[in-house]
Every structure is written in structure tokens, then in C-alpha cells.
Amino acid sequence: MTSIAPAVAPKIVCFGETLFDLLPEGKQIGGAPLNVAYHFHQLGGLSSIVSRVGRDALGAELIQFVRENGLDSVALQKDDDLETGTVPVTFLNSLTPTYEIVSPVAWDQIEVNDAARRAVSSADAMVFGSLATRTSQNLKSLSSLLIDVKVRVLDVNLRAPFFTQSQIEALMRQADIVKVNDEEIHLIGKWYNWSGTDEELLRELYESLELKAAILTRGKNGAALMDSTGLHEHPGFKVTVADTIGAGDSFLAAFLYQYLRGVVPQRCLAYAGAVGALVASKTGGTPTYNESEVQAFLNAAKTNAKTVDQTY
């Protein structure tokens, strides 16, 4: 796997939605790009967020959260007309959330300005997802910013009804690394008339798009990675799940934190799986933890050598 090993802490910039999840027990700050930025910083990296909030109480609270948690807010824009994004969340069962993503909101109108360009040009990688490109404004802004990016990372993160096949195909063609879950890889496989196992579909994705890496998360069956050195798999970690909000985002953040430091693929997967499982064992998408807690989790898993049944 081709990787970058910066002399200082690696830096990512995340483009897209910043919002509040409106849970039954109250509101929580979220949005996949913000979650990835938060977790990357929790682990020791540097994070910047390119997004937009309203000039309202929720926007002020979100900006305060970003700053208090050590994320670079210089490219976090304010909108005079649209409100800060909200997403009412309900649960199909005790673990599985469903989302009602309000539209239009401030993060639908992200602009390209000097602050955004500086954030992107100084980063080792840029993370983006499909949801933020539900508007032509954001799609235009993203395409402009991707020109200056060292490593372009797409978290497919499909959210109906805010995607089309042509939209996802175009985004994948602009990426160096693509992350999908087990449902998304099968949908993409149908689009291209691919067939076979998850691993075979992952190889098709990697080879057809000429990616640096393709990552597959598959719930209780762990995670897999395809890169120039071949297929790598990790079965995951057994945890008692509090909820799954932000677990996939923390997995991606942890993977990138290792990848950008030149860590070998198998260790990237193990570390990312540990962080995802640790976050799933906590409530909410942005729980507090640190690198020492992750290492303790990994050491305990090695010692106990339990049968694996959960990862993200």
C-alpha cells in the first residue's frame, strides 16, 4: 500500500455536513465529516473541517464544539439565510438508527474561499462523502477543492434519497481511497454487473477505479482492505454495543491516522477496528477517549483472544 509518512502529526481536511442529530434523549453534534475530523484529532492527528452553519444558536454551539475539541474551524463558514443542519433520529431497535435529513440547510451551500483552499493544500488527505453532494453548489465546490488534494478519500455513505448511481460513480472516479460497507459494495456491484463474494467485489472496485486502496466494513464479519499488496482482512472485536452512531466514521479516521503515518495494511485494519468497536461501546458519535485507551483495548483483546463478532 502506497502511503505517506509526514514528519509531524498527519493532517486531514473533511468536507461536508456539520449538524445536530436530534435523538430521543436530546441533541448531539454530528455529521460524518465532522465525526471523522473529531476522531482523527482524538487519536493525535490534526483536523480541519470545510462546512457551513447558520447564524443561529445551533451554529454558534457547533462552532464552539469544534474549537473546544481542537479542530481547525477557520474554514467553517456562516450562512446568513439557511439554518444549521439538523437530523431527527429514531431507532428501529435499540441499536439501529434511522435518519430524517432536513433540507435545505446551511451545509448545502459550502463555498470555495481562501480559508478552504489553504486548509486543503496543507492537508495530507481530504475526506468527503456522497451526502454533501446532494446540491449542485457543494458538488461544484468539492470538485474545485479536490484539484489541490494529495490523497482523496471517499466514504460512500449512501443516504436515500440523496444519491444517484451517476453521482456516486463520478465521486468514485475522483477518489484515491474508497470506503464502502457490505450493503454498499453489493449495490455498486449490481450497477456494474459484478458478481462474487464481498472480497471479489472489493477487488473489482479497487481494480476498475485504479485506486490506492479500497476498504470494506462488514459489521460482525470485520473489515477488509484491497491495495497494491493484495487483500488484507481483520475479523474485528467483540464488544457490548451502546449504539452505532459514529462507529464507521471513527473506523475511517483511525485507518487514515495509521495509513498516513506509513503503517502496514494489517495493522491499519486492526487499529481501525479497535477504535470503531471502542466507539460503538460508548454512547453517541463523538465520545471522549484517547490513544492510550485504544492501546489498552487492543492489548486486552490480545490477552483475552475472544471470538470476534463485532466491528465497524
At 95 the pLDDT is 63
pLDDT in tens, 270-280: 999 999 999 99
At 283 the pLDDT is 84
pLDDT in tens, 136-179: 999 999 999 999 899 999 999 999 899 999 999 999 999 999 99
- Looking at residue 64, its amino acid is Q
- Percent of the chain whose pLDDT exceeds 90: 80
pLDDT-derived band of residue 94, with 50, 70 and 90 as boundaries? Answer: low
Average pLDDT over residues 75-87: 97
Does the structure show a pLDDT above 70 at 119? yes
When the pLDDT of each residue in the chain is averaged and rounded to a whole number, the result is 92
At 23 the pLDDT is 84
pLDDT-derived band of residue 306, with 50, 70 and 90 as boundaries? Answer: very low
What contacts 18, CB < 8 A, 6 or more positions away?
A: 29, 31, 33, 34, 49, 51, 52, 53, 62, 66, 76, 84, 85, 107
**Gyration radius of the chain's alpha carbons:** 18
Average pLDDT over residues 79-105: 88
pTM of the model: 0.92
- Which residues are registered as beta bridge partners of 52? 77
Average pLDDT over residues 120-138: 97
3-state secondary structure string, the chain? CCCCCCCCCCEEEEECCCEEEEECCEEEEECHHHHHHHHHHHCCCEEEEEEEEECCHHHHHHHHHHHHCCCECCCEEEECCCCCEEEEEEECCCCCEEECCCCCCHHHHCCCCHHHHHHHHCCCEEEEECHHHHCHHHHHHHHHHHHHCCCEEEECCCCCCCCCHHHHHHHHHCCCEEEEEHHHHHHHHHHCCCCCCHHHHHHHHHHHHCCCEEEEECHHHCEEEEECCEEEEECCCCCCCCCCCCHHHHHHHHHHHHHCCCCCHHHHHHHHHHHHHHHHCCCCCCCCCCHHHHHHHHHHHHHHCCCCCCCC
Which of 154, 149, 152 is CA-nearest to residue 123? 149
pLDDT-derived band of residue 305, with 50, 70 and 90 as boundaries? Answer: low
Instruction: Give the whole-angstrom CA distance, residue 279 versus residue 269.
Output: 15
**Domain residue limits, the chain:** 11-304
> Comparing 77-81, 103-107, 287-291, which segment has the lowest mean pLDDT?
287-291
pLDDT in tens, 193-215: 999 999 999 999 999 999 999 99
At 311 the pLDDT is 41
Instruction: Give the whole-angstrom CA distance, residue 66 versus residue 29.
Output: 10
pLDDT-derived band of residue 81, with 50, 70 and 90 as boundaries? Answer: very high
Does the structure show a pLDDT above 80 at 11? yes
At 288 the pLDDT is 92
Average pLDDT over residues 53-79: 97
| C-alpha cell read off for 148 | 489541490
Whether 283 and 259 have beta carbons less than 8 Å apart is answered as no
Does the structure show a pLDDT above 80 at 97? no
| C-alpha cell read off for 49 | 473541517
Instruction: Give the whole-angstrom CA distance, residue 158 versus residue 142.
Output: 17
Residue with the three cell numbers 502506497: 2
Superfamily of domain 11-304: Ribokinase (3.40.1190.20)
- Which residues are registered as beta bridge partners of 38? none
